[in-house]
């Protein structure tokens, strides 16, 4: 069965510092990969996605993620964090064929210290 692991439940960084959120997946084949962000009490906003091609993908708000097939990872990065980035971040995977129900990790809560 497919699964997504986000090993860091909480991360605290200082504003202006760099950020890396980890995501590992277990899947039968290379899935589609996504990062979403959720502010308190809100729905999920898509940050970026990987379908194929260049393994370094750029997203909104200055985020990027790198797909590493050998490590089954899709880590999210940002070179300089802003206080408004404080939120919960979810990594998700979806199948390449058929229905595209997403399987989510448990999320990483990001706190930004001013």
Partner 1 sequence: DTGVSQNPRHKITKRGQNVTFRCDPISEHNRLYWYRQTLGQGPEFLTYFQNEAQLEKSRLLSDRFSAERPKGSFSTLEIQRTEQGDSAMYLCASSLKVQSQGETQYFGPGTRLLVL
Ramachandran quadrant class, 62 (left: phi over 0; alpha: psi -120 to 50; beta: rest): left
Q: Which CB sits closer to partner 1, 85 or 88?
A: 88
Q: Which CB sits closer to partner 1, 27 or 90?
A: 90
Q: Which CB sits closer to partner 1, 67 or 90?
A: 90
Beta bridge partners of 74: 67
For 90-106, letters b (16+ CB in 10 Å) and e give bbbbbbeeeeeebbebe
CB 14 to partner 1: min, Å: 25
Of the candidates 78, 82, 63, the one whose C-alpha atom is nearest the C-alpha of residue 16 is 82
CB 80 to partner 1: min, Å: 27
Q: Which CB sits closer to partner 1, 65 or 92?
A: 92
CB 79 to partner 1: min, Å: 25
Q: Which residues bind partner 1 (CB under 8 A)?
A: 4, 32, 34, 36, 41-46, 49, 51-52, 90, 92, 94, 99-107
Contact 88, 8 (CB under 8 A): no
CB 85 to partner 1: min, Å: 19
């Amino acid at each position: 069965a497919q699964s997504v692991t986000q090993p860091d439940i909480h991360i605290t960084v200082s504003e202006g510092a760099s950020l890396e959120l980890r995501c590992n997946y277990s899947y039968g084949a290379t899935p589609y990969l996504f990062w979403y962000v959720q502010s308190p009490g809100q729905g999920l906003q898509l940050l970026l996605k990987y379908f194929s091609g260049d393994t370094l993908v750029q997203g909104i708000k200055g985020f990027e993620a790198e797909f590493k097939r050998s490590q089954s990872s899709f880590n999210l990065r940002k070179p300089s964090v802003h206080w408004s980035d404080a939120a919960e971040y979810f990594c998700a995977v979806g199948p390449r064929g058929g229905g595209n129900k997403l399987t989510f990790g448990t999320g990483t809560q990001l706190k930004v210290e001013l």
